[in-house]
Structure 1
Amino acid sequence: MLRSLPFVAIAAVACVDLLAGPRLGFLPLLTLGPTFASVSGSVRRTLAVGVVALAVCLPLAHYNGLLLTPQNNLTIAAVIGVTGASALASHLRIRRERELANVRLVAEAAQRVLLRPVPRRAGDLRIALSYTSAAAEAQIGGDLYEVVTTPRGVRLLIGDVQGKGLGAVETAAWVLGAFREAAYDEPDLSGVGHRLENSLTRHLGGERFVTAIIAEVHVGEISLLNFGHPPPLVMRRSGSTVFAEPETECPPLGLVALGSGKPEPHRIPFQEGDQILLYTDGVIEARDESRAFYPLSERAKVLVGADPQAALDELRADLLDHVGGPLLDDAAMLLLRRHT
């Protein structure tokens, strides 16, 4: 539509001018052609549209008996001037688009290096992952996740860095690096959380923070240490669902010192056939056209499929269908299903 708009505008002006005659003088409106062309076209295309506008202007001026008159000379000068300005605007727009595309590619490459593929099986767990980038117009986000198998069992991390862009990706790198080391070294989740907090306070500036959940799977249970993150959705084998709210509130990583007391994990049952969905706020804050939030607990029934990854992909498709277009924020989901 945008590619044909300049020619439609020129044709419309020509038709109106032929019908109205020379008294009203619609020919200056031919400058709409190159103006519209600069919005989406290249410099060469914008100049070509300007030439077409000029080619239409001269016969119409001759038809109206205005050729070589001061009025028509001013119209020709306007078409040439607007075409030149539109070509310059097109050049600047294309250069800016290329710069933004390069920055985005660098950030996406950095995210792909940081966010390694998670194992699909770990112990008696089957694991599924979904990561949906935001709209192309949005900046790169800082959603992060990791699953590691340690001598003490399977440990997991999901988090969301405050802010966007390369700064958020850099912060995510610090969190993931600290977690990958601490998950193997620390005997409990409190120690892992303490290592993450120390790492972030050394490298974060101002009031930046990271919401996160650290989890560890035990026999028949799972431990959750929540740092200001949306609570996981627990789906029992019986079909009931509940959000695993933390027993005590804890500030996000980077702001733990502002809280009262030492963050402590809490355990919840996690039996055969149970599932736990960890996610970032891009899921529950997604809105439809009526500005209604995505009802995660209601839609989670699609996760009963035999294949966890296929089930999670179906939930992602339902999320995108709810929004009716691209997401405005990155959305990461990590699904754990327990099997014998």
Structure 2
Amino acid sequence: MLRVGGRSVTWVPPLLLLVAITVTDYNTTGEFRIISWIVLVPGIAAAICGVWTTALYAVLSIGAYTFVDNAWPHELQAGLPDFILVTTGGILSTLACAVRVRGERRALHMRDVTDTVRSTVLRPLPKDWGGLEHAGIYLTADAQARVGGDFYDIQPSPHGTRVLVGDVQGKGLGAVETASVLLGTFREAGFHEADLTVLADRLEARMVRHREYTTALGRADGDRFATAVLLGFPADRDDVVDAVVFGHEPPLAVGPGGVRILPLRGGLPLGFRDLSPGTPRTHRVPLAPDETLLMVTDGVTEARDADGRFYRLAEHVARALSADPRIAAPARLVALVRDGTLRHCRGHLADDTTAFAVRRTLAAGSEGHEGGRSPN
């Protein structure tokens, strides 16, 4: 908690308090006795130090109390009652510190588990993975949760590179589980399926099967769904992108020519195919090699300021791009979205917030098949 030059100095505040109380009591008149305040020393140590350090301060406090109190005439001594107070305070402080340290270790362990879950759902992506320069930011509405229902991934394949960005309805472990299920299907089918429409069908079928599974378990999240954008960068073309939209905001294309919203019709979210049976439509739209595709979840589009106004993402990006064309780089772009969203809502995120940006690299055509084998 307190470090100087990389070394912990949490032991300093209780030591200063111990010395201050001891010296003050020793050098004041008998009518002004504050030695019993020394019970505060192990109490402060319990809040910021380790167990053994707290126990040491408990012993030092008892010793200092005994020394200073016996230095006064008998009629001015605080006596046995305050000695019992200091001793009991030291013991209780040590026990409280042990409980605190145990809770902190458990919290750190749970954070490690959560980080493992997050890295499994949102796996680290190698640089220029699948011939795409990429960058992403992910902020959970609950700062302690560290993982939620937003997801994104890139899957190279012999047929081109596929990108999936989405948002599972709801929060909690059920949303994380659903996101993991969809990403697992995307990573496997995205490698093997040549047709983006077939991949979209596989995602829809997996979502339906997962809902049937959770319903059979009697869980209350049997009506869960997900919005998503599925992109395909053909291996033989560098001037187009294929896209399927599942009830999600269409991507923004950001480049030297400005900012434009891809003209995509939004289909139904994953899990709602029964409302409109049929094969999802795949759109092929032109995309310049130097244009970046920016996809965000509703944590960005539904962010509100103090007056209830929504965050105008396209306008914000367009202004920034006109001031600095380099903002179109994926890393700069997602940083701009992150900062703009947090500034707009004053740091109070109402939902998980994700921004993911991709742009073709010069070697895009030669990196699309991972050596012809399925990745892990």
Name the TM-score, length of structure 1 as normaliser. Answer: 0.74
1:258–1:67 distance in 2 versus 1, CA, 3 Å: farther
What are structure 2's unaligned runs of at least 5 residues?
A: 3-8, 215-219, 365-376
| Pairs within 5 Å for 1:222-301 | 222-238=241-257, 240-244=258-262, 247-248=265-266, 250-251=268-269, 253-254=270-271, 256=272, 264-280=281-297, 297=314, 298=316, 301=321
The TM-score, its normalising length taken from structure 2, stands at 0.68
Q: Which runs of 5+ in 1 are unaligned?
A: none
Tell me, yes or no, if structure 1 residue 117 matches structure 2 residue 121.
no
Instruction: Report how far residue 92 of structure 1 moved.
Output: 1.9
The residue matched to 2:83 in structure 1 has which SS? helix
Q: Which residue of 1 aligns with 2:161?
A: 154
1:298-317 → structure 2 map (5 Å cutoff): 298=316, 301=321, 304-305=325-326, 311-315=329-333
> Out of 300, 308, 333, which is 2:356 matched to?
333
1:212 counterpart residue number: 228
| Separation in structure 1 between the aligned mates of residue 304 and residue 266 of structure 2, nearest angstrom | 29
Give the distance between the partners of 1:294 and 1:72, measured in 2 at CA: 67
1:139 matches 2:139: no
1:176 paired with 2:183, answer yes
Partners of 1:172 and 1:303 in 2: how far apart?
35
Name the amino acid aligned to 2:144.
Answer: A
Distance 2:34 2:310 in 1: 49
Matched, 1:43 2:68: no
Read off the aligned partner of 2:291 and give its amino acid letter: D
Cα distance in 2 between the residues matched to 1:199 and 1:108: 25
Given candidates 56, 59, 64, the residue that maps to 2:67 is 59
Do residues 163 (structure 1) and 181 (structure 2) align? no
1:1-41 deviation digits (Å, cap 9, x = unpaired): 58133233334444554576443543332222111211222
Conserved in 2, the CA contact under 8 Å of 1:140 and 1:164? no
Structure 1 residue 63: Cα displacement: 4.3
State the 1:333 CA deviation: 2.6
Q: Do the aligned partners of 1:107 and 1:169 also contact (CA within 8 Å) in 2?
A: no
| Matches of 1:90 and 1:14, distance apart in 2 | 23
TM-superposed CA distance for 1:44, in Å, is 0.3
Classify 1:108/1:67 alpha carbon distance in 2 versus 1 (closer, same or farther; 3 Å).
farther
Instruction: Give 1:42's aligned amino acid.
Output: G
Aligned equivalent of 2:373: none
Aligned-partner Cα distance in 2 for 1:259–1:303: 45
Query: How many residue pairs align between the two structures?
Result: 330
1:278–1:49 Cα change, 3 Å: same
Distance 2:177 2:139 in 1: 17
Shift of 1:330: 7.0
Q: Partner residue of 1:108?
A: 115
The superposition leaves residues 171-212 of structure 1 with CA deviations (integer Å, 9 ceiling, x where unpaired) of 333111111233245565444333223323333543344443
Name 2:367's counterpart in structure 1.
Answer: none
Contact kept in structure 1, 2:200 and 2:230, CA below 8 Å:
yes
Going from structure 1 to structure 2, the CA distance change for 1:202 and 1:242 (only over 3 Å counts) comes to: same
Distance 1:293 1:157 in 2: 25
SS in 2 for 1:217: strand
Letter in 2 for 1:148: Q
Checking the alignment, whether the CA contact within 8 Å between 2:250 and 2:261 is kept in structure 1 is yes
Coordinate RMSD, CA, aligned: 4.4
Q: In structure 1, which of residues 221, 239, 247 is the aligned counterpart of residue 240 of structure 2?
A: 221
Larger CA deviation: 40-49 vs 202-211: 202-211
User: In 2, distance between residues paired with 1:241 and 1:72?
Assistant: 79
**Secondary structure of 1:138's aligned partner:** coil
CA drift of 1:313 comes to 4.0
Q: Which amino acid aligns with 2:260?
A: V
8 Å CA contact retained: 1:61, 1:67: no
Cα distance per residue 1:129-176 (max 9 Å; x no partner)? 3456769962231443222234543221123444356x5554333111
- 1:90 correspondence with 2:108: no
For residue 319 of structure 1, report the CA deviation from its aligned partner: 6.7
Q: Which residue number in structure 2 is paired with residue 29 of structure 1?
A: 37
